[in-house]
Amino acid sequence: MDENKNYKLSSTLSGHEQDVKALAFVEIDNKKFLVSSSRDSTTRLWQNLNTSQADSSIIFNSPSKPFINSVAIINDGKEPLVASGGQDAMIYLNDLLQHDIDPDGKYQLIGHEGNICSLSYEKNELISGSWDATAIVWDLKNFVPKFILKGHESSVLDCKVLGEDQYLTCSADKTIILWKGNKQVKQFKSHQDVIRKLFVLSSQQFLSSSNDGTIKLWDLKSGEVLNTFYGHESFVYDISTLSDDLLVSTGEDRAITIWDLKTGNIKQKITLPCISVWCVARLNDGDFAVGGSDNKIRVFTNSLSRVASDEELAEFRKSIESSSIAEQSVENLKKTDVPGYEALNKPGKQEGSTIMVKSPAGQIEAYQWSGGEWIKVGDVVGSSASNKKQSYQGKEYDYVFDVDIKDGEPPLKLPYNITDNPYVVAENFLADNELPSSYTQDVVQFLEKNTAGVSIEESQPLTDNRVLDPYSDAYVRQSNLKVIPAKSYIFFKDFKLEQIMNGLKKLNQSQESSVQLSDQSISTIENYLSTLNSKQAFDIITGYAKQIIQDWNVSSKLIGYDLLRICIPKVTTADLLRSTDAAKIILDSIHTGLIGSSNYSILMMIIKSLINLIDNTLFVQLFIDPTDDGKHYLYNSIFKDLLTKLTALIKDSNSNAKLYTTTMNTIATFIYDLSVYQLTTKGLKENSQVSAKPVLEFLDNVGEQIIKSSSEAAYRSIVGYGNFKYSKAIIEGSKYPSWIIEAGSMYSGESESRFYELASDLQNLSNFK
């Protein structure tokens, strides 16, 4: 570091709405550009990086809202492009400097079958790594794969170009592979856990980081480990060099660690006010930027001329001091042995060392030795989830869930603490049990659903009523709202394979021979459903479900709609771009089922299929159009016509029918999920009073029947209404709809106390007249 100066905060860049997962830096014509990708489905461009008022613009924003987890800048001397990759298995290429946002990207690279978690561009080659256990080297002239690297047993989490058709990949299978073309040359094994990141130092050496908390320096030719860097307390997510002598790393321990690359000693440790520090990018002036789970990008510098103002530094330090640290994460903590503030008079043993001290008020506080002084990094708090911990494999957790994966087999154990990052827990659970990493979002939703309402104790309230959100690791504004906004979808994805197949076989036998499925087709469906990836789901929709819905007798069509329901959530954007058949078949099937339908089973299954479409690229493809200026989204005429048909069917429905109550509850769920979609889709939310109008009109038309069918249907509909109110889709000062007033009268007893909190939230959103 220049003159042995420590790195300090230079600026804080705000704009993303969820975790910042990847960063890339480039200098073009003496101008500096930082690009970031995020779980909020956007890729952003940043300039003027050393000010917290940095210029920011969106390069890519997908309406299907997949997480964007990786980014690379393609700068080949022509017009520079930005590659964005994520959850939908697609790589989108957009212009770096021209920001006419195309939701489909200027170009697309199609080839992966799972989440794209890494992108790297070096030596005029782009390489990508995916949860599908492959890496792909791309031919950027023809936009097709040049090499597909198959050999890892689990997700390829990072990949690098070495030149001359040589590549490095690392994986959740704990190995690193050197490739020549698409052939394996050598494997590197030493890490004890998932390998997250690679960094190429030279033609002879490279670095790797791992969930085992270490960084290793490797000799490329011999495969030997030259040094191991110990200092992180949890997963090490990203690594980069700052100079020939300095290494920087980030991880799940809230820390940025700066190392002496030659000795492996820690030079400086910086704690951030977020749990996951996902990514780091070196800038060209010795500064570096990091992205975290609190949605922020922070730039650090060791140049006095670029250090943030005293006010910004004080605010940054205050946010760190106000953080909460889970008691269970502090090893061997004995509250009776914690010293007082006098312990801070002694220097730390080494850079980054931590101690616990007890304040005069009895609060246990954590301090870290950084830059020659003790810096408070948070308050140690207990868990409010339960007074009784659950033990699993020698450790204690707030929860140990039983997860049923397969009929006839014992459930798997899923341990979880409320201060854990649910995405990290999900990834580890799937890797430990050799399950497809495509289930990550399902596990996260399971955790959030089953720990709903639980939060860690706040040690000290932050200024302006902010508290730590244990799920997003972000500081959020605290209000009196307890129910609204509700942002977790309710989907209908579960199914029992044996039950589906028994019904399918039985109904198949009752059909005329000319429309029966063959034994081979039945076997194929069973095999597909047992694993069900995107391509298999696509084939079931476009082949077997289509045949059943079109050709089977009315009393048997339900099984076709059930197959639609099951398969819709699995179809990825990559398969949709190969063919539009799925979208057309789904739309035709829905239309067929709704025409004059008095079959509540089919109507309910159609609604469940529609629910499973929400938050999927198919939903955008079928029902969403951009506005004329391309800045916002609106529901199209097809969707409005669908709501009109549903309204007519609901108004003509028989409340004494066997499945009436269940069907109405499903419709209420549909409305609720549409409200979540409104809240979480930027292109809809920014134009709420216009974009939400068709759904609100539908709710007004059917609200009275919904609330009379059951208290659960009433509750979900009112929460949906509250979400729309929260998103400002409803004009301030509007009167309560009559169906809400009626619901208030119907469900006001002690057994329905949940409606009291809901009514309070509606009142707090604004004063209704």
| pLDDT reported for residue 544 | 94
The 10 Å Cβ neighbour count of residue 357 is 19
- Give me the torsion for CA of 729, 734, 736, 739, rounded to 10°: -60
Q: Is pLDDT above 90 for 89?
A: no
Q: What is the mean pLDDT of residues 491-512?
A: 90
Cα gap 648→184, rounded to integer Å: 62
pLDDT in tens, 143-156: 899 999 999 988 89
Cβ–Cβ under 8 Å, residues 240 and 282: yes
Lowest-confidence pick of 28-37, 290-299, 324-333, 365-374: 324-333
Tell how strand 144-150 and strand 156-163 pair up.
unpaired
| pLDDT reported for residue 76 | 81
Site of tokens 């890496």: 135
Cβ–Cβ under 8 Å, residues 342 and 422: no
Q: Is pLDDT above 90 for 287?
A: yes
Q: Is pLDDT above 50 for 470?
A: no
| pLDDT reported for residue 157 | 94
Confidence band (pLDDT; 50, 70, 90) for 100? low
Residue scoring higher pLDDT (206 or 75) = 206
pLDDT in tens, 557-609: 899 999 999 999 888 877 776 677 888 899 898 888 887 556 778 888 999 99
As a CATH number, domain 497-765 is 1.25.10.10
Confidence band (pLDDT; 50, 70, 90) for 404? low
Average pLDDT of the chain, as a whole number:
84
Q: Please report the DSSP string for 347-372 in residue order.
A: PPSSTT-EEEEE-TTS-EEEEEEETT
Confidence band (pLDDT; 50, 70, 90) for 333? low
Confidence band (pLDDT; 50, 70, 90) for 307? very high
Task: Provide the token pair at 13.
Answer: 């860049």
Residue scoring higher pLDDT (428 or 329) = 428
Q: Is pLDDT above 50 for 458?
A: no
Task: Provide the token pair at 645.
Answer: 């048909």
**Is this prediction's pTM over 0.75?**
no
343 three-state secondary structure: helix
pLDDT in tens, 518-544: 999 999 999 999 988 888 999 999 999
DSSP 750: G
Q: Is pLDDT above 60 for 66?
A: yes
Confidence band (pLDDT; 50, 70, 90) for 7? very high
| pLDDT reported for residue 299 | 97
Confidence band (pLDDT; 50, 70, 90) for 336? low
Q: Is pLDDT above 60 for 163?
A: yes
Residues spanned by CATH 3.10.20.870 within the chain? 390-417+420-455
Angle between helix 693-709 and helix 637-651 axes, rounded to 10 deg: 20
As a CATH number, domain 390-417+420-455 is 3.10.20.870
Confidence band (pLDDT; 50, 70, 90) for 416? confident
The amino acid sitting at 35 is V
Please give the share of the chain, as a percent, with pLDDT higher than 70. 85
Residues spanned by CATH 1.25.10.10 within the chain? 497-765
